Amino acid sequence: MDRKQSTQMLGEMKLFAGFSAAEQRYIRRSLDVGLGRGDAAACWARNSTEAAAIETQARRYRILDLIRACVPDDEAPEDAEPFLASLITLSMSDLREGKLMSFDAYRFLYERLVGAAARPWLVSAFCAAVAQPGVHPGLRKELLQSIPVMDVIAAGWSIRAPLFYPEWVEKVPEVVS
């Protein structure tokens, strides 16, 4: 890994460290589900309700392969429609969980689930998902206010792939000496 990649990875780690514990947990769990990393329910479910939520999320995430295949190469509206419609629907279901409390957390997750090529479309998908009637108005306000102005007015987006993919970390027993 070269110096530029090391700097990028450290920046991504720092961003992730700034998320709340609930956001970090949801992102790691979602990456396990969306990227097929092991048995997410066995790893993350603390009770039967969480196990059911993870199974529901796994069913929703089956569309990720289609979304990844439909990422538009350009900004033509006719190319974006099938991609955005699916991305907005999936985004809304994740945001309704109430665990992703900022655009940065959403973007962090979706850049990894869908890929860097989706980056230019994430602000629009996020805004459209947040504006859906199923998102509580208080949450909607908080989420919309979390979008950095620079992301809204950006003239372009990087297509570099993310390097840091957080995973489950087993608790290490404390040793008392």
Q: pLDDT for 50-105, tens place per residue? A: 999 999 999 999 999 999 999 998 777 777 899 999 999 999 999 998 999 999 99
Terminal CA-to-CA distance of the chain, rounded, Å?
A: 38
Tokens of 7: 């700097």
Amino acid at residue number 81 = E
Of 163, 72, 82, 61, the closest CA to residue 117 belongs to: 72
- Domain spans of the chain, in order of start: 8-152
151 confidence band (pLDDT: 50, 70, 90): confident
Q: Which residue has the tokens 């999936």?
A: 90
Do 71 and 83 meet the contact criterion of CB atoms below 8 Å apart? yes
Q: pLDDT for 100-146, tens place per residue? A: 999 999 999 999 999 999 999 999 999 999 999 888 899 999 999 99
Do 92 and 132 meet the contact criterion of CB atoms below 8 Å apart? yes
Predicted structure pTM score: 0.91
